[in-house]
């Protein structure tokens, strides 16, 4: 018994030391990551231009070609590059475009009327918070991953370690489900301890998902930076020279027709991202959810003949790719609508609170130990040291 | 007074605060913020075309503006290949008449005019590979291809398009021992 007791003391020490020295950094990363899960929804609340409610229950959104015509009428000459359909009902359709002055803008367009109701350029909050959380705004240069990416992804190790050692230390942790306990009247040390354990058992799967996917991000960066690729995707499809017409400039391509072309190969395909060709020899590419809820299927369409130039179905992915490519959606929680995002946000706050409560437990416990130590030091220094 | 008590405030501070020093990691994003904002402005075109505009160049009936994306020597960018990124904007009638724009080191054959610029007509970019041993006084060639099938070319010295790249190539050539392959 004594042996068992001492081994759990060791595990508790390991558990305490895994995150304590870096708790403030881990706290910062957890908090920014939590905000990032709902960054688009925050913008929806802040920016009325991003909101677009259906005028009536039976209202149907306009097609993409009609929306593009409406944009051309309102902003003549603007060049649309990508289209992001509403991520949920109540959101506007976003067109990323370049103005004739050469400035990139996000145009938020009402999908029912085609009215440009919001325009943003430059600083983008969702992009900023993602960069702050994911790589601490450190620069990407030299074709490799940013140094901040490694610093953040390395936190997966203490996080995963904390989860495992926490479960070892917290015996019969399932009692936290059956008999949840949060004592508020017994002092700070008891309160933070109860909160830490309660939050921990309720977010075991979440912490496992976040730490394992973050560990993959570390491996992914290391693989990329050492020139190892596991992708079977291949180079993007291009348009053959003979398909590119010579003569008058062709009319603007029809996005609706391209989607129809993609649906011939991917039945029911609903794009959640559309990219217009980057040059005269490039295809139009689209991606949208397929049979597997976590991952997108991709299609590329010849913009002159409207033939399918390439498609990547879920079944084209290797088992390894299925796992590794699922890591990002699992980490960010953007694959199940608003309620899943809110669940990720809530568990993110819980995890952030666990980092904080872990530190509080340690300082409360240590404060007492330190006070004892200081008393001991004072009593020894009461005896004058011999002169040197 | 003993040495122990003289050190006490410092060691007390250290004991109390050492485990909160991770908060100093916030210095990293704070220090990177100006560079991040400059990069956002560069990539969105808010700070103009590229980091340094080289100027207008005319090929046949068309005029384009050319710029260096960043004021850095050639290096790896997205792929391990050594490249230098240039930006280009079509102007006037070229916006609707030019089908594709290419850039190459040395005069390219019409069948392989170089690297294609991608993006919108108002701001596109190309990663120009800079092979080992490129002469610092090499010429850059722009090839413009119209929807009507016509092709027009123009050239400019690399040292004018990117002084920093020409300097970098000079330094590399000087560092290589004479007679080395």
Instruction: Provide the pLDDT confidence category of residue A13 given band limits of 50, 70 and 90.
Output: confident
Q: Is A383 helix (H, G, I), strand (E, B) or coil?
A: coil
Q: What is the pLDDT of residue A384?
A: 44
Minimal C-alpha gap between B132 and chain A (Å): 17
Give the residue from chain B lying closest to A101, CA to CA: B122
Minimal C-alpha gap between A22 and chain B (Å): 5
Compute the distance between CA of residue A215 and CA of residue A330 in angstroms, rounded to an integer: 12
| Whether B29 and A247 lie within 8 Å, measured CB to CB | no
Mean pLDDT within B152-157: 96
Give the number of other Cβ atoms within 10 Å of residue A214's Cβ. Answer: 22
Q: Across chain A, what does the average pLDDT equal?
A: 90
Minimal C-alpha gap between A332 and chain B (Å): 21
Give the number of other Cβ atoms within 10 Å of residue A168's Cβ. Answer: 16
| Whether A132 and B116 lie within 8 Å, measured CB to CB | no
Q: Across chain B, what does the average pLDDT equal?
A: 90
Q: Are A335 and A294 in contact (CB under 8 A)?
A: yes
Residue where the block lists tokens 């706050």: A349
Contacts of B120 in chain A (CB under 8 A): 79, 81, 97-98
Minimal C-alpha gap between B174 and chain A (Å): 23
| Whether B97 and A359 lie within 8 Å, measured CB to CB | no
Question: Alpha carbon of A325 to those of A322, A330, A365, A379, B85: distances in Å?
Answer: 6, 9, 42, 62, 29
Minimal C-alpha gap between A258 and chain B (Å): 20
Give the number of other Cβ atoms within 10 Å of residue B59's Cβ. Answer: 19
Residue A385 has pLDDT above 70, yes or no: no
Report the range out of A113-122, A177-186, A293-302, A342-351 with the highest average pLDDT.
A342-351
Phi, psi of A204 (to 5 degrees): -55, -50
Please give the residue that has the higher pLDDT: either B110 or A279: A279
- What tokens does A163 get? 């989860």
Residues of chain B with CATH 2.60.40: 49-175
Determine the distance from the C-alpha atom of residue A43 to the mean position of all C-alpha atoms in its chain, rounded to a whole number: 16
Minimal C-alpha gap between B37 and chain A (Å): 7
Compute the distance between CA of residue A79 and CA of residue A74 in angstroms, rounded to an integer: 12
Instruction: Provide the pLDDT confidence category of residue A369 given band limits of 50, 70 and 90.
Output: low
Mean pLDDT within B80-108: 95
- What tokens does A83 get? 């289209």
Q: Are A108 and A132 in contact (CB under 8 A)?
A: no
Mean pLDDT within A74-103: 95
| Whether A122 and B148 lie within 8 Å, measured CB to CB | no
Q: What is the pLDDT of residue B177?
A: 61
| Whether A25 and B23 lie within 8 Å, measured CB to CB | yes
pLDDT digit string (tens) for B59-72?
999 999 999 999 99
Residue A92 has pLDDT above 90, yes or no: yes
Compute the distance between CA of residue A285 and CA of residue B100 in angstroms, rounded to an integer: 19
Percentage of residues in chain A having pLDDT higher than 70: 93
Q: Would you kindly state where each structural domain of chain A is located, as residue ranges? A: 2-228+336-364, 241-316
Question: In terms of DSSP H, where are the helices of chain B?
Answer: 3-17, 27-43, 94-97, 158-161, 163-175
Strand partners, B127: B85
Instruction: Provide the pLDDT confidence category of residue B178 given band limits of 50, 70 and 90.
Output: low
Q: What is the pLDDT of residue B18?
A: 82
Mean pLDDT within A326-352: 96
Question: Which of A26, A100, A124 faces B122 most closely, judged by CB atoms?
Answer: A100
Q: Structurally, what CATH architecture does the domain formed by B49-175 represent?
A: Sandwich (2.60)
| Whether A99 and B119 lie within 8 Å, measured CB to CB | no
The ipTM value here is: 0.88
- Probe site for chain A from B101, B122, B144, B151 (most A CB atoms < 10 A): B122
Instruction: Provide the pLDDT confidence category of residue A4 given band limits of 50, 70 and 90.
Output: low
Q: Are A351 and A30 in contact (CB under 8 A)?
A: yes
Compute the distance between CA of residue A356 and CA of residue B20 in angstroms, rounded to an integer: 11
Using alpha carbons only, what angle is made at residue A371 by residues A367 and A375, rounded to the nearest 5 degrees?
A: 170
Q: Are B65 and B49 in contact (CB under 8 A)?
A: yes
| Whether A26 and B122 lie within 8 Å, measured CB to CB | no
Give the number of other Cβ atoms within 10 Å of residue B77's Cβ. Answer: 19
Give the residue from chain A lying closest to B23, CA to CA: A24
Q: Structurally, what CATH architecture does the domain formed by A241-316 represent?
A: Roll (3.10)
Residue A380 has pLDDT above 80, yes or no: no
Q: What is the pLDDT of residue A388?
A: 35
- The lowest-confidence range among A10-14, A325-329, B137-141 is A10-14
| Whether A385 and B2 lie within 8 Å, measured CB to CB | yes
Compute the distance between CA of residue A56 and CA of residue A336 in angstroms, rounded to an integer: 25
Question: Which of A103, A141, A359 faces B45 most closely, judged by CB atoms?
Answer: A103
Residue A208 has pLDDT above 50, yes or no: yes
Residue A107 has pLDDT above 80, yes or no: yes
Give the residue from chain B lying closest to A22, CA to CA: B22
Instruction: Provide the pLDDT confidence category of residue B4 given band limits of 50, 70 and 90.
Output: very low
Contacts of A22 in chain B (CB under 8 A): 22
pLDDT digit string (tens) for B110-130?
889 999 999 999 999 999 999
- What tokens does B133 get? 């041993």
| Whether B25 and A151 lie within 8 Å, measured CB to CB | yes
Percentage of residues in chain A having pLDDT higher than 90: 66
- The lowest-confidence range among A42-51, A250-259, A377-386 is A377-386
Residue A64 has pLDDT above 60, yes or no: yes
Question: In terms of DSSP H, where are the helices of chain A?
Answer: 2-19, 23-37, 39-46, 64-74, 125-135, 147-153, 156-169, 175-178, 188-202, 204-225, 255-265, 319-332, 337-381
Mean pLDDT within A130-147: 92
Q: What is the pLDDT of residue A188?
A: 86
Give the number of other Cβ atoms within 10 Å of residue B107's Cβ. Answer: 12
Q: Which residues of B152-176 are buried (b: 16+ CB within 10 A; e: fewer)?
A: ebbbeebbebbebbbebbeeeeeee
């Amino acid at each position: 018994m004594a042996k068992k007791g001492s081994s759990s003391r060791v595990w508790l020490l390991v558990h305490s030391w895994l995150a304590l020295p870096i708790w403030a950094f881990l706290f910062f990363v957890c908090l920014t990551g939590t905000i990032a899960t709902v960054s688009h929804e925050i913008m929806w609340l802040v920016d009325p231009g991003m909101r677009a409610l259906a005028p009536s229950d039976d209202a149907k959104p306009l097609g993409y070609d009609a929306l593009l015509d409406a944009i051309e009428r309102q902003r003549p000459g603007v060049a649309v590059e990508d289209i992001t359909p509403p991520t949920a009902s109540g959101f506007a359709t976003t067109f990323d475009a370049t103005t004739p002055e050469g400035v990139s803008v996000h145009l938020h367009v009402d999908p029912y009327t085609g009215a440009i109701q919001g325009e943003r350029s430059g600083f983008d909050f969702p992009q900023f918070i993602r960069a702050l959380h994911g790589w601490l705004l450190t620069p990407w240069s030299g074709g490799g991953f940013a140094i901040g990416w490694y610093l953040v992804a390395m936190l997966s190790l203490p996080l995963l370690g904390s989860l495992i050692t926490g479960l070892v230390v917290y015996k019969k942790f399932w009692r936290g489900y059956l008999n949840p306990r949060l004592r508020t009247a017994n002092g700070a040390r008891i309160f933070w301890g109860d909160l830490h354990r309660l939050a921990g058992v309720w977010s075991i799967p979440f912490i496992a998902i976040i730490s394992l996917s973050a560990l993959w991000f570390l491996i992914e960066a290391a693989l990329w930076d050492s020139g190892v690729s596991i992708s079977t995707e291949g180079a993007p499809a291009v348009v053959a020279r003979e398909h590119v017409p010579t003569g008058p400039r062709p009319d603007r391509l029809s996005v609706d027709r391209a989607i129809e072309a993609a649906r011939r190969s991917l039945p029911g395909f609903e794009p959640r991202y559309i990219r217009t060709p980057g040059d005269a020899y490039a295809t139009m590419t689209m991606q949208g959810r397929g049979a597997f809820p976590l991952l997108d299927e991709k299609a590329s369409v010849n913009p002159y003949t409207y033939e399918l130039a390439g498609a990547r179905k879920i079944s084209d992915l290797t088992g390894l790719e299925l796992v590794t490519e699922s890591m990002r959606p699992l980490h960010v929680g953007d694959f199940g609508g608003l309620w899943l995002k809110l669940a990720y946000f809530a568990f993110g706050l819980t995890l952030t609170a666990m980092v904080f409560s872990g530190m509080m437990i340690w300082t409360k416990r240590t404060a007492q130990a330190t006070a004892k130590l200081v008393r001991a030091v004072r009593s020894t220094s009461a005896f004058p040291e011999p002169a040197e | 007074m003993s040495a122990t008590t003289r050190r006490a405030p410092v060691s007390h501070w250290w004991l109390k605060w050492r485990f909160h020093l991770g908060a100093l990691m916030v210095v990293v994003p704070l220090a990177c913020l100006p560079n991040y904002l400059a990069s956002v402005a560069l990539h969105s075109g808010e700070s103009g075309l590229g980091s340094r505009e080289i100027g207008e160049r005319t090929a046949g009936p068309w005029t384009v503006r050319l710029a260096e994306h960043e004021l850095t020597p050639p290096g790896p960018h997205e792929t391990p290949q050594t490249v230098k990124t240039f930006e280009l904007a079509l102007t006037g009638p070229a916006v609707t008449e030019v089908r594709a724009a290419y850039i190459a080191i040395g005069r390219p054959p019409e069948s392989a005019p170089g690297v294609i610029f991608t993006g919108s007509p108002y701001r596109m970019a190309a990663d120009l590979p800079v092979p080992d041993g490129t002469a610092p006084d090499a010429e850059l060639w722009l090839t413009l291809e119209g929807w009507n099938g016509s092709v027009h070319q123009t050239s400019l010295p690399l040292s004018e398009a990117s002084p920093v790249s020409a300097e970098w190539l000079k330094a590399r050539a000087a560092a290589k021992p004479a007679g080395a392959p």
